[in-house]
Amino acid sequence: MTTTLTETFTSPLVLRIGSEDIEITSLDGAVDLIRSLRHDHLGRYAEMLLTQMESARTTPQKAEAWVAFKTWSAACGLQPHNPGWRHAA
């Protein structure tokens, strides 16, 4: 199964940075966010991701870069989660 760019950007990705919720609606917005975090420990961990996102030219590359960004942001705990998940398992 492949992800298309249209499917990818149908809804914005909301990230929590500190106490602020930031809505990311495009790959360019994601690139800007990572660039703004370059001097933070999270930004230092995202150098290869940033390279992938900046070099994405074709639609499949952009879709894959977006999925990689979503995965990175979830792994870093930046996506606000449903409070009920804390009680799962």
Examine residue 56 and state whether it is found in any structural domain, yes or no.
yes
Examine residue 89 and state whether it is found in any structural domain, yes or no.
no
Examine residue 60 and state whether it is found in any structural domain, yes or no.
yes
* pLDDT band of 40, cuts 50, 70, 90: confident
Examine residue 63 and state whether it is found in any structural domain, yes or no.
yes
> 23 near 12, Cβ under 8 Å?
yes
Examine residue 50 and state whether it is found in any structural domain, yes or no.
yes
pLDDT digits (tens, 9 = 90+) for 25-39: 999 999 999 999 888
The residue-averaged pLDDT of 4-33 equals 83
Outline where 1-85 has alpha helix (H). 5-8, 27-36, 41-44, 47-55, 59-75
* pLDDT band of 76, cuts 50, 70, 90: confident
Looking at residue 23, what is its pLDDT? 94
- Provide the number of structural domains found in the chain: 1
Would you say how long the chain is, in residues? Answer: 89
Examine residue 88 and state whether it is found in any structural domain, yes or no.
no
Residue 75 lies in domain: 5-81
C-alpha span between 32 and 48 (Å, rounded) = 15
Examine residue 86 and state whether it is found in any structural domain, yes or no.
no
